[in-house]
A and B are shown apart, each in its own frame.
Chain A
Amino acid sequence: MISFQRLLGREDEFFGLLEASAQQACHAVDVLKTVLSRRELMPMMQEFADARSKEKRITEEISERLITTFVTPMEREDIEALAEALYKIPKIVEKFAQRYSIVAGQMQDVDFSKQIVLMERAVNLVLKMVQALRVGRDLGGVKALQIELQTAESEADDVLLEMERAFYQPGFPALKAVILKDLFSLNEKVVDRCRDAGNVVSNVLLKNS
């Protein structure tokens, strides 16, 4: 027997997958926070890899379902763009963790907390925005979240500039500057990726409002 629900689309499944994807992004930032707050621990690389693999599986599932589902709750391209944008968040977190793990010993005195606070704020805002898709129509609410996200992104730029200021002081060790520039930029990119995902959500809602 042909199921009409199956043929006509399973809205809940798409929203569920997108939310799961946003939750994986939050989880990756949580793990990073734990690693950076307890320096005696070596980075739990497997946890980062797992978060990204789970996210990748979700993205692939979304991609396959887009092909096999007749009617989707939003335009296919939009779902695909959002899934891609969400996948990039844990991917960049994992990249930071990999780079950090090879220099952890030399970076014990470096404080990443300002960046972590902003990353946490940004991923949680992304999750709220993705959850808002299921409800739909609340364009005003989503726009407010997007503004908050853009504020976080702008603050992340300022924090990066402030942190990099030290590199240009006479006497700052050149190698440490190279390593830290790399690490700080990767952390800033996490917030950038969140901002990108937020922009996709906002555009999707605008198109469907």
Chain B
Amino acid sequence: MISLQKFFGKDDKFFDLLEASAEEARHSVQVLTKILSNPGQTPRLEDFHASKEADKKITDQINLAIVTTFVSQLEKDDIEVLSAALYKIPKTVEKIAERFIISAPMVKDIVFTKHIALLDAATQRVVELVKLLRNISAGQLDAAKQINGKLQQIEAEADQLILEILKDLYSGRHDATKVMAMKDLYELLEKVIDRCRDTGNIVTHIVLKNS
């Protein structure tokens, strides 16, 4: 029997998939923050790779569902853009892990507390925003704008943080090779938060379009 509800897309699986992707992005960041809390220990790249692959599978499922689903509450283009933005988070996290491993001797004494707090807060906001989409028809614009505002604030703090760090790195007190390696790593950490910010803007735009 053909389910009309299924045919018309009312059992919208996209919400489940997008939420799973956001959770996976958050999970990859949680693995990263554990590593950052203990920089003396060299991370296993496999843990990050698994998280990125899991998110890639979800992204593939979303792309397949876009082609095979007749009607969805969200526009297909929006789903595609959002899913691509979410995937970029664990992808960048994996890149950080790669750099972290090769620069292990230089990072072992570095304190990443501020980054950990910002990464955690940013991915938490991303999950909250993606969850709003499920009830998009109930008018979520104010809630989306409020959470996105917090995300923008986190991103501004991350920008300020990297500037302070670069000021120290460029001061002449550090070895040039260390400056090069650390700058690379810090810029990638900032990029994860930028990716979260991009995702927040996309969700807010979708909510605005549907409000």
Q: Do A and B bind each other?
A: yes
- Whether A178 lies near B167 (C-beta < 8 A) is no
Whether A178 contacts B183 in the complex (CB less than 8 A), given A63-B205, A67-B208, A67-B209, comes out as yes
* CB of A174 within 8 Å of the partner chain: yes
> How extensive is the interface on chain B, given as a class?
10 to 19
- Whether A102 lies near B176 (C-beta < 8 A) is no
**With A and B bound together, what is the CA distance between A134 and B102 in angstroms?**
53
Of B159, B170, B172, B208, most buried by chain A (CB within 10 Å of CB) is B170
- Whether A175 lies near B208 (C-beta < 8 A) is no
* CB of A147 within 8 Å of the partner chain: no
8 A Cβ contacts from B148-170 to A: 159, 163, 166-167, 170
Q: Give B167's nearest chain A residue, CB to CB.
A: A102
Whether A175 contacts B170 in the complex (CB less than 8 A), given A98-B163, A102-B163, comes out as yes
**With A and B bound together, what is the CA distance between A103 and B167 in angstroms?**
7
- Whether A174 lies near B176 (C-beta < 8 A) is yes
Q: Determine which of A67, A103, A174 lies in contact with B170 in the assembled complex, contact meaning CB atoms within 8 Å.
A: A103
Residues of A contacting B208 in the complex (Cβ-Cβ under 8 angstroms): 63-64, 67
**With A and B bound together, what is the CA distance between A99 and B172 in angstroms?**
15
Which secondary structure dominates where chain B touches chain A? helix
- Whether B163 lies near A106 (C-beta < 8 A) is no
Residues of B contacting A102 in the complex (Cβ-Cβ under 8 angstroms): 163, 166-167, 170
8 A Cβ contacts from B169-199 to A: 170, 172, 174, 176-177, 179-180, 183
Q: Give A176's nearest chain B residue, CB to CB.
A: B176
Whether A178 contacts B205 in the complex (CB less than 8 A), given A102-B163, A102-B166, comes out as no
Q: Give B172's nearest chain A residue, CB to CB.
A: A175
8 A Cβ contacts from B22-38 to A: none
* CB of A166 within 8 Å of the partner chain: no
Number of A-B residue pairs at CB separation under 8 A: 33
- Whether B166 lies near A99 (C-beta < 8 A) is yes
Q: Determine which of B163, B179, B209 lies in contact with A178 in the assembled complex, contact meaning CB atoms within 8 Å.
A: B179
**With A and B bound together, what is the CA distance between A182 and B174 in angstroms?**
17
**With A and B bound together, what is the CA distance between A106 and B166 in angstroms?**
14
Can you list, as one digit per residue, whether each of B104-144 has a CB less than 8 Å from chain A (1) or not (0)?
Answer: 00000000000000000000000000000000000000000
Residues of A contacting B170 in the complex (Cβ-Cβ under 8 angstroms): 102-103, 106, 175, 178-179
Q: Would you give the shortest CB distance from A12 to chain B, in whole angstroms?
A: 23
- Whether B166 lies near A175 (C-beta < 8 A) is no
Can you list, as one digit per residue, whether each of B62-82 has a CB less than 8 Å from chain A (1) or not (0)?
Answer: 000000000000000000000
Residues of A contacting B159 in the complex (Cβ-Cβ under 8 angstroms): 98
**With A and B bound together, what is the CA distance between A175 and B178 in angstroms?**
10
Q: Give B152's nearest chain A residue, CB to CB.
A: A56
Residues of B contacting A173 in the complex (Cβ-Cβ under 8 angstroms): 176
Residues of A contacting B183 in the complex (Cβ-Cβ under 8 angstroms): 178, 182
Q: Would you give the shortest CB distance from A92 to chain B, in whole angstroms?
A: 13
Q: Would you give the shortest CB distance from B187 to chain A, in whole angstroms?
A: 9
Q: Give B209's nearest chain A residue, CB to CB.
A: A67
Binding site for B on A (CB under 8 A): 63-64, 67, 98-99, 102-103, 106, 173-175, 177-179, 182
Known: A103-B167, A175-B170; 12 extra A-B contacts, CB below 8 A, are A63-B208, A98-B159, A102-B166, A102-B167, A102-B170, A106-B172, A173-B176, A177-B176, A178-B180, A178-B183, A179-B170, A182-B183
Interface pairs A-B: 9 shortest CB-CB: A174-B176, A102-B167, A175-B176, A103-B170, A179-B170, A178-B179, A178-B180, A98-B163, A67-B209
> Could you list some 20 contacts between A and B, CB below 8 A?
A63-B208, A64-B208, A67-B208, A67-B209, A98-B159, A99-B166, A102-B167, A103-B167, A103-B170, A106-B170, A175-B170, A175-B174, A175-B176, A177-B176, A178-B170, A178-B179, A178-B180, A178-B183, A179-B170, A182-B183
